[in-house]
Structure 1
Amino acid sequence: MTDLSDLLLRVRDRARRETPELAPYAGERDIAEAERQLGFVLPPLLRRLYLQVANGGFGPDDWADAWFLDSPSLAQWLTAWLHGTGWWEEEVMTAENAPEPSPWPDAAHRLAASRKSMAPPARVALE
């Protein structure tokens, strides 16, 4: 078993323990449609989370600050979640030497692109 397969099993176990009504897995068609709407291919580990754990609905309780880069990789972020050492954990946030999360560099760009794609079409004056 690979390290990522083991990680996914541990994430799925915790998600099931903490979320009794866990969303069903996403299917390949769901992933393809999400990628089409987003305009980019999901990273392999994120894709596997949706296909093998659940189609969302698990993880930290408060995602309000999710636009921060707090880990070099999704695998490391998931490991921090499993171990309770992520910056969003209350004990970590209130510690004297608490790390200050830094903004995710691509967040503004991705959000702006998303808003543009959801904007209603421009009106064209008919003569």
Structure 2
Amino acid sequence: MTDFDDLVGRVVTRARTDSGELPPPVGAEEIAAAEAALGLTLPPLLARLYREVGNGGFGPDYRLFPLAGEGRTAVGLYHLELAGCADSTRPHWPAGVLPILDWGCGMYAAVDCTDDAGPVLLFEPNPVDSDDNWKDAWFLDSGSLAEWLEKWLSGTGWFEEDSYEKGDPEEPQPWPPAAARLTAAQPAAAQPAAARPAGARG
């Protein structure tokens, strides 16, 4: 299992420098309650951030959402995005992808919770010209949450204002699984018969 002690320690130091007083971290029971509400298991590093750094309020730009609690939270926004897909034959948001940060202008950073490494995705809906093209709104920002945090800590992420002074930052690339993951998120009645679980009825 990957040891994130050094990385989490550096995140704590940076978070306290940037944010001053942070929201208190959440406990194991709150993590378990959030996972039950989401129907997901948080990638280990993401769970540690909420347990050991704070309940949001740190990270790049507008900073991470609280996991749960009052106001805009990762749990609440996940349910909101999936609810927006419930009656759509062209869902825009894949199951298992948790929004963690608002970049503004409708864009989110999100973590793919179906992978323990926690790949970080960029949801950028602005160039999408029709509901048939939601796959074009999804980009792979970093192959893991650890990699994404390292970019933030080193000031080399595309989202850092002075990153271009340090070289050419790695730009998010189209997320190859987007089409398949969005198809899987369609309501069962809207999926082709061959895509439904065995024995399912339309």
Q: TM-score, normalised to structure 1's length?
A: 0.72
Q: Deviations over 1:11-37 (max 9, x none)?
A: 000001111121111111110111111
**Contact conserved, 2:26 with 2:54, CA < 8 A, in 1?**
yes
Please list every run of 5 or more consecutive structure 2 residues that lacks an aligned counterpart in the other structure. Answer: 63-101, 110-120, 123-139, 187-202
Aligned-partner Cα distance in 1 for 2:144–2:173: 14
Give the one of 81, 86, 91 matched to 2:152.
81
Q: What is the match of residue 53 of structure 2?
A: 53
- Structure 1 residue 70 corresponds to structure 2 residue 141: yes
Letter in 1 for 2:154: H
Q: Deviations over 1:16-65 (max 9, x none)?
A: 11111211111111101111111110011111111111111101123324
- Structure 2: distance between partners of 1:73 and 1:23: 24
What percent identity do the matched residue pairs reach?
53
1:3 Cα deviation after fit:
4.8
Which residue type is aligned with residue 56 of structure 2? G
**Matching residue of 2:39:** 39
Structure with bigger strand share is 2
Aligned to 1:22: 22
CA positional deviation for 1:98: 5.0
Instruction: Output the aligned Cα RMSD.
Output: 2.6
Q: How many residues align?
A: 109
| Partners of 1:70 and 1:87 within 8 A in 2 | no
SS of equivalent to 1:90: coil
Query: Partners in 1 of 2:42 and 2:22 — Cα distance?
Result: 21
Work out whether residues 92 and 98 of structure 1, in 8 Å CA contact, stay in contact via their aligned partners in 2. yes
- Aligned residues of 2:157 and 2:169 also touching (Cα < 8 A): no
Where does structure 1 lack aligned partners over 5 or more consecutive residues? Answer: 114-127
User: 1:103 Cα deviation (Å)?
Assistant: 5.2
What letter matches 2:28 in structure 1? E
Shift in CA distance, 96/14, structure 1 to aligned 2, threshold 3 Å: closer
Greater helix share, structure number: 1
Do 2:142 and 2:172's aligned partners in 1 also have CA atoms closer than 8 Å? no
For residues 26 and 12 of structure 1, the distance between their equivalents in structure 2, rounded to whole angstroms, comes to 14
- The one-letter code sitting in structure 2 at the alignment partner of 1:92 is S
